[in-house]
Structure 1
Amino acid sequence: MSIFGKIKDAIFGKKADAPTTGTPGENNAWANAPVVDKQAVPVVDVENNLDSMPGADNLNWRTSIVDLMKLLNIDSDYEARKALANELGRDNYSGSAEDNVWLHQRVMRELASNGGKVPAQFLD
């Protein structure tokens, strides 16, 4: 599985947990998610899900890709971040502060494009 796939599954829930049909209020992992269209596709509140995780109050996941990955129990070393950057379109990842800011923003944008509700300040 891709590193981004692991991030998405950790925040959204594993695909096996997601209903293929249904509506909010049913007994499933997405029960509290709002419906965004008539096919009952839920929107996942990324900020709320991350804030609800154990240890979130001790990590700066809102701006740090390393802390975000730590919160999700995903390896956050240089090689893992480089592989994630490569998955998301950056071939020349160096691990610099600028690269890490780019990587965090890119992950947040990808979460948003995959059905996540992500606050605007995480996207710029």
Structure 2
Amino acid sequence: MLRANLGGVDAPLVVVAHSLGSVIVSDYAWDAQHPETGRSKGDDDFVCMRTLAGLVTFGSNIPLFTLALPRVIAIAPPRSSPRLSDAVRAVARWENFYVSHTAYWSDRDFLGPAARLIGAVALAARRGA
């Protein structure tokens, strides 16, 4: 639906995910990056997160969900996608923050960097378009 609202364009994607949401988005991205599993959610670059340019996780509990795995294979980092322009790839990154679980909404050490990443991707996307 978001892609449709963007006019069907495979725009650079920035995901902001808190707590269990970070696990869900990590699982979704891993499935999308490994279509051989048969769990991929679609074909287009946006839905398959091939245009992932930023990931902001906070209060993430991803490590807890890896304890039962025999081997941990992380998702590919945002800047690795060949579907991103060079300008976007230069600013693309995964930022992870941890402070008290409910303090993020007023913590400038979280809000400032998260906003700067979103702004940098948006500006780079306009430049690289």
Q: Going by fraction, where is strand more abundant, 1 or 2? A: 2
TM-score bracket, shorter-length normalisation: under 0.3
Q: TM-score, normalised by structure 1?
A: 0.23
Q: TM-score, normalised by structure 2?
A: 0.22
